[in-house]
A and B are shown apart, each in its own frame.
Chain A
């Protein structure tokens, strides 16, 4: 494919303009962190502060347990990603390879997890976890997040497995592999793009949660995730937006890194579920 110079120029201009619009709010978050409160409420708005307060980042990092919050978020996100991946790989594989009676309705049933308003889940779930003695434990988050992830993950993976020819497993089974062994040794390696995409989805979903963390971990500050920590930075009488924005920048960075790592697998992996 070759383009004329003017076509290229147009393409680049459009890309830059679009990206500018899309990323502007994130840029604005950054500006909010390093501007003084007087400059924040000034019109016309300053698109770059006259005296950027760079020290805000080191101050927030030192004053708040940001590393601990990030670590907790990371544990919750990796834990949920791991748990939901294992469960979804099994479920997706079963739905893809076996003609199960009621398989379709079970698939739909799993999807209802995505439909119930979170408000109604909170109190009963709290009671369930309390009876199990788990309130305040990271496992509450890992389990609750996994349930939110599994429906879509199962669906995506089923679709992905559908695209992998069965002959490969059958050949492996002829060579003496168990059905499960065939899945693990033959199908999963081929499905790496799909698995990566699903893992990214799981990670982002867990990383973004606030409602569950607030409900289950409120009594356990040592387990607070980044989002929960940030919201507790709001003061009763006055809120320091510089600090909150600076902390928010810290929270956004790990997701971007994870995304960069998994990006090359993402395309092609993510929607195979719907393609068949």
Chain B
């Protein structure tokens, strides 16, 4: 902020006040929607509650957390979440970046191509899961049929009752839904890289790959950092895709932390326990994003 000093010198006190006033609505709104429920969740996680009733509370206990740390289910959910976050993030980054680089070329119909590329983003998840449930149907689904026809498999693949297949069905669906956002962000980032950089590199005889490695990638880093955090948080929180495709099964192999939270709360009516899972999920994502953003910020300056 090069001019901040001069600005402050003009009317320092009022300027600061105005800043806080402008910031207030956002903080209040987020606080209203987030802080109160968060406080409730933390409070519930220290009680033995099956279904909460707002306004009443039970005795303080650490039982939920004790049970949680001792349960193999929780650690498995952590592991599944980690796997899914890794696979989906890498998948979305790869596909998103490739498509962005592709439609960044000049050609006729580019606008249409960009629209097509972004379209999955605009399809509501409720609808996307319906489509993918059909495609991954174990008895008549297109995907199984393709595997059989191409000889990759002798029999139809039981997408939702085979652990490995279920994981990949979920991951593929999430990448389809998640990559367009990366693509849009990267495309926008690419626009801001001055053409001079490339021309200079070309004069110096850099190959396309070298130009990508030494110009495109470093300059995209800030954009990628932010995008990465948002994609990760999305995979962390999302539950409707897994819920519809596999319900977290078979044998909990696709049960992420958010599915476990949901299942314990609404499926098994253990809200206290579910809140403990949710609170820990929050802690993990806060730590992860501070870590990622911290790195991102360093990359920016």
Contacts and interface: CB of A to CB of B under 8 A. Distances in A.
Contacts of A151: 30
Interface residues of B, number: 101
Given A15-B113, A143-B33, 11 more contacts: A22-B119, A22-B120, A40-B140, A90-B25, A116-B41, A117-B237, A119-B261, A146-B29, A152-B230, A252-B123, A255-B123
Interface string B26-61: 110110111011101100000000001010000000
Contacts of B102: 14-15, 18
A94 B20 CA distance: 7
A150 B34 contact: no
15 contacts: A22-B116, A88-B26, A109-B27, A112-B286, A114-B233, A115-B233, A117-B237, A117-B282, A128-B32, A167-B3, A267-B114, A267-B191, A269-B188, A270-B185, A276-B222
Sorted nearest first, the 3 A-B pairs with minimum C-beta distance are A98-B19, A91-B26, A124-B37
At the interface, is chain A mostly helix, strand, loop or mixed?
helix
Given A90-B22, A91-B22, A166 B116 contact: no
Interface stretch (A54-62, A216-224, A258-266): A258-266
Nearest to B45: A120
Interface in A87-105: 87-88, 90-91, 93-95, 97-100, 103
Interface residues of A, number: 100
A245 B25 contact: no
Given A28-B142, A208-B125, A210-B240, A127 B120 contact: no
A190 interface: no
Contacts of A118: 237, 239, 258
Q: Tell which of A14, A86, A117, A260 has the most Cβ of chain B within 10 Å.
A: A117
Contact of A106 (B27, B121, B126, B185): B27
B30 A119 contact: no
A44 B149 contact: yes
A171 interface: no
Contacts of A112: 34, 38, 282, 286
Contacts of B237: 114-118
At the interface, is chain B mostly helix, strand, loop or mixed?
helix
Interface string B66-87: 0000000000000000000000
B115 interface: yes
Interface in B234-271: 236-237, 239-240, 257-258, 261-262, 265-266, 271
Interface string B179-201: 00000110111011000000000
Nearest to A88: B26
Interface in B5-30: 6-8, 15-16, 18-23, 25-27, 29-30
B142 A100 contact: no
Contacts of A108: 290, 293
A25 B117 contact: no
B130 A244 contact: yes
A15 B103 contact: yes
Interface in B151-170: none
B90 interface: no
A121 B257 contact: no
A45 B149 CA distance: 12
B223 A256 contact: no
A113 B132 CA distance: 29
A134 interface: no
A238 interface: no
A260 B114 CA distance: 10
A123 B54 contact: yes
Contacts of B286: 112, 115
Interface string A164-200: 0011001000000001100000000000000001000
Interface in A199-255: 204, 207-211, 227, 230-231, 241, 244-245, 248, 251-252, 255
B300 A94 contact: no
Interface string A124-144: 110110000000000000011
Q: Tell which of B105, B131, B271 has the most Cβ of chain A within 10 Å.
A: B131
